[in-house]
Amino acid sequence: MSNFNFRHFTLGVEEEYMVLDPLTRELRSHEQQIVHEGNRRLNDKVKAEMHQAVVEVGTDICNNIDEARRDVGNLRQVISDIAGEMGYWVGASGTHPFSHWERQLITDHDRYSQIVNELQEAARSNLIFGLHVHVGMEDRRMAIHIANSARYFLPHVYALSTNSPFWEGRLTGYKSYRTKVFDKFPRTGIPDYFESIEAYENYVNLLIKTNCIDNAKKIWWDLRVHPVFNTVEFRICDVPMTVNETIAIAALFQAICVKLYKLRSQNLNFNMYHRSLINENKWRASRYGIDGSLIDFGKETEAATRTLILELLDFVDDVTADLGSRPEIDRIPGMLQTGTGADRQLAVYNRNKNMLEVVDYIHDQFLQ
């Protein structure tokens, strides 16, 4: 096994945080103060997002999961410190439990003005917080092959990340309502299968030529070969509440890519499934999180989501030692026991039916 070279399977992690008013617990515009000060302290790793109550951070290119953990932990700490100095709180949840998007200001930037102008209410209401994980690839041909195969596992990992049970003060009945909000955008969801990188690039070029998009970054699928970098970018997950959860999920995405690469190197392929089938599992993950069941398409039966996640851990187990990620992936069975961010938010809410306590909990967990 160790004759495989895993050096190019680098990691990049992007998280979106909510900026909160400590008194009202509402989302609050920080007028990009946190972004400006964050970039001063963190070498341009902090970005504004469409809504002013959102701060996006991104790690450096990390050679392994330990570097990613240090970087994410440091980003959370520094952003939390800056926010505190300015009289704000920060937290990580796929949606805010009760803030209304109509009251939130849009960032003054050409790109966002253009998106709002085109997508209108769908863009203005897109007040959600996600996790994006980039896994480096040796080239774009391998990237499209791995992206095609990795689509099958998206619902499994997404179920683990579910962290948005509330929307505008309502109990949605979903463990992740965030994707329901995002589904209003075009070019979202599980991508199709592409037989080659050329087929994918032809698709992108056709959209640009016909004025559907002006650049490939407006393809907002749950998984994409990145338009600029040689990475597969996983975009399906809610932002997890804690660093441990983010890093376990990033490690799992990396391990899935490496396992699929290993199979490919041995002339073995993973079965390809239709987008329509994978979508059935995505819907179940969104609705029930880890408490439901997913379809095992190979066996054509339903199985408990927890069971299938444990099977996924077995599937990648032979590559985790070489990646140095086993300690992080070994946290996942614990996550299945303690529940996802959504499960924990609901537990806090069910104690006193108090949304303010949920926001306090989200804030308290940010640096755990």
Expressed as residue numbers, the domain containing 94 is 11-365
Q: Is the pLDDT of residue 78 over 50?
A: yes
pLDDT in tens, 349-359: 999 999 999 99
* Helix, coil or strand: residue 112: helix
Q: Confidence class of residue 1 from pLDDT cuts 50, 70 and 90?
A: very low
Q: Is the pLDDT of residue 88 over 50?
A: yes
In the chain, the number of structural domains is 1
pLDDT in tens, 20-70: 999 999 999 888 899 999 999 999 899 988 778 999 999 999 999 999 999
Q: Does residue 4 lie in a domain region?
A: no
Q: Does residue 5 lie in a domain region?
A: no
Helix (H) or strand (E) holding 293: strand 293-296
Q: What is the mean pLDDT of residues 268-286?
A: 94
Query: What pTM value is reported for the model?
Result: 0.96
Q: What is the mean pLDDT of residues 215-221?
A: 91
Q: Does residue 2 lie in a domain region?
A: no
Q: Does residue 326 lie in a domain region?
A: yes
Q: Which two tokens stand for residue 117?
A: 């102008």
Q: Does residue 20 lie in a domain region?
A: yes
Helix (H) or strand (E) holding 295: strand 293-296
Q: Confidence class of residue 343 from pLDDT cuts 50, 70 and 90?
A: very high
pLDDT of residue 4: 62
The secondary structure of 190-235 as a DSSP string is SPPP-SSHHHHHHHHHHHHHTTS-SSGGG-EESEEE-SSSSEEEE-
Question: Which CATH number does the domain housing residue 150 bear?
Answer: 3.30.590.20
Q: Is the pLDDT of residue 233 over 80?
A: yes
Q: Does residue 3 lie in a domain region?
A: no
* CB contact at 8 A, 363 and 91: yes
- Outline where DSSP puts E strands in 45-180: 46-48, 54-58, 89-91, 131-136, 166-167, 170-171
Cα–Cα distance between 163 and 175 in angstroms, integer? 6
Q: Is the pLDDT of residue 102 over 80?
A: no
Q: Does residue 194 lie in a domain region?
A: yes
Q: Confidence class of residue 115 from pLDDT cuts 50, 70 and 90?
A: confident
Mean pLDDT of the chain: 93
Q: Is the pLDDT of residue 2 over 60?
A: no
Cα–Cα distance between 169 and 249 in angstroms, integer? 28
Q: Does residue 1 lie in a domain region?
A: no
* CB contact at 8 A, 112 and 47: no
pLDDT of residue 113: 77
85: alpha, beta or left, given left = phi > 0 and alpha = psi -120 to 50?
alpha
* CB contact at 8 A, 152 and 236: no
pLDDT in tens, 144-171: 999 999 999 999 999 999 999 999 999 9
Which residue is listed with tokens 């996600």? 130
pLDDT in tens, 312-324: 999 999 999 999 9
* CB contact at 8 A, 207 and 318: no
